[in-house]
Amino acid sequence: MLKHFLTILDIPRDEARQVLLRAKEMKDNNVRTDLLDGKVLLMIFDKASTRTRVSFEVGVRQLGGEPVFIASKDSQLGRSEPLKDAARVLTRYADGLIVRTFGQDKLETLVEYGNIPVVNALTDEYHPCQIMADVLTMYERTPNLEEIKVAWVGDGNNMAHSFINGAATFGYELALACPEGYKPDNAILENARSLGAKITLTEDPAEAVAGAHYVHTDVWASMGQEEEQKKREAAFAGFMVDDALMGKAAPDAKFMHCLPAHRGEEVSESVFEGPASIVWDQAENRLHMQKTILEWIYKD
């Protein structure tokens, strides 16, 4: 059966824990396999990237496959020909698509008209590979994910949406602090709650962080939103994760960020470089988790 990874919810809950265990094994044993031997995976990136591109290229090679990188300026996807036509062509060339783009609808079109696995490397709506790596980072420290509280401070963006889906899959308590006008999509939130997720939403960062074991944030203006920078700085005033805010979290709480970070904006220098920060483990875990996701897709 053909598998895709467009959101975290694509991994059944009864398989999610095994994915975490396998990712930990991948990391601990520096696993290399020949699972993708003879397979070519196209990496189609409409948005620039450092960690996503490098971790996927390295990961595909460590599984024996061959990545082919295509930047938006080098392709005609969705421009001079319909995306559904490109999907049917690429299916005949390659064994999978790893796509970093804007609308989630583009991935859905590739799935509908193609016949090879599609992996979401980031869209405006979701960032599932990042959050799966973040869950691995938390799991390494607190394997009983159902007993932890995770705080999200900032924009109700693709990261927040994937944390919401992650709460439905892995059972951690999630508290989101987002200013008015920048809250997560209510349909995504309510769907997760209908699946049993324990989620609260507030406009007060201190309320969300209170007692949290992990505190996450992201830049206030993501890629493509740079023209909104000044407006967002005003809206997010008081949302910086600094020592005072971290002091409201649980003892030994950890700080996390998907990178790149704007020190002095969404996070203070002292927190980012301080002992609570585990951002480099997050970055490393992109490699191990993405290898595991590819194995989940292609094995069997």
In this prediction, residue 78 has a pLDDT band, given cuts at 50, 70 and 90, of low
pTM of the predicted model as reported, rounded to 2 decimal places: 0.96
In this prediction, residue 151 has a pLDDT band, given cuts at 50, 70 and 90, of very high
Kindly state the average pLDDT of the residues 232-244. 96
Structure tokens at 148: 């932890």
Binding residues: 49-52, 76, 100, 127-130, 158, 218, 222-223, 258-259, 286
Q: Which has the closest alpha carbon to 67: 90, 89, 91, 42? A: 42
The pLDDT of residue 223: 59
Stretch among 22-36, 100-114, 209-223 having the lowest mean pLDDT: 209-223
Binding residues for L-ornithine: 158, 218, 222-223
What architecture does CATH give domain 142-277?
3-Layer(aba) Sandwich (3.40)
The pLDDT of residue 1: 87
CA distance 273 to 91: 45
- Rounded to 5 degrees, φ, ψ at 5 are -130, 90
Mean pLDDT, the chain, rounded, equals 95
The neighbour count for residue 275, using CB atoms within 10 Å, is 9
CATH fold of 8-126+283-298 reads Rossmann fold (3.40.50)
Give the type of residue at 42: L
CA distance 298 to 295: 5
Render pLDDT for 242-255 as a digit per residue (tens, 0 to 9): 999 999 999 999 99
The pLDDT of residue 2: 96
Binding residues for carbamoyl phosphate: 49-52, 76, 100, 127-130, 258-259, 286
Structure tokens at 198: 């324990």
More confident residue, 78 or 127: 127
Do 81 and 100 touch, CB atoms closer than 8 A? no
Q: List helix spans (H) across the chain.
A: 13-28, 51-62, 83-90, 104-113, 128-141, 158-170, 186-194, 205-209, 229-235, 243-246, 269-272, 279-298
The pLDDT of residue 226: 62
Q: Is the pLDDT of residue 112 over 70?
A: yes
The pLDDT of residue 299: 96
Share of the chain above pLDDT 70, in %: 97
Helix (H) or strand (E) holding 99: strand 96-100
Give the three-class secondary structure for 6: coil
Q: At what angle do helices 128-141 and 158-170 cross, to 10 degrees?
A: 50
Q: Which residues contact 247 (CB under 8 A, 6 or more apart)?
A: none
Do 136 and 23 touch, CB atoms closer than 8 A? yes
In this prediction, residue 114 has a pLDDT band, given cuts at 50, 70 and 90, of very high
214-217 and 149-153: which strand pairing? parallel
In this prediction, residue 74 has a pLDDT band, given cuts at 50, 70 and 90, of confident
Give the type of residue at 239: F
Q: Which has the closest alpha carbon to 290: 128, 91, 50? A: 128
Q: Is the pLDDT of residue 73 over 90?
A: no
- Rounded to 5 degrees, φ, ψ at 42 are -85, 130
Kindly state the average pLDDT of the residues 25-35. 98
DSSP tag of 248? T
Q: Is the pLDDT of residue 280 over 90?
A: yes
Q: Which has the closest alpha carbon to 89: 65, 70, 61? A: 70
Give the type of residue at 170: F
Q: Is the pLDDT of residue 15 over 80?
A: yes
Provide the annotated active-site residues. 100, 127, 130, 218, 258, 286
Which residues belong to CATH 3.40.50.1370 in the chain? 8-126+283-298, 142-277
Share of the chain above pLDDT 90, in %: 91
Kindly state the average pLDDT of the residues 263-285. 98
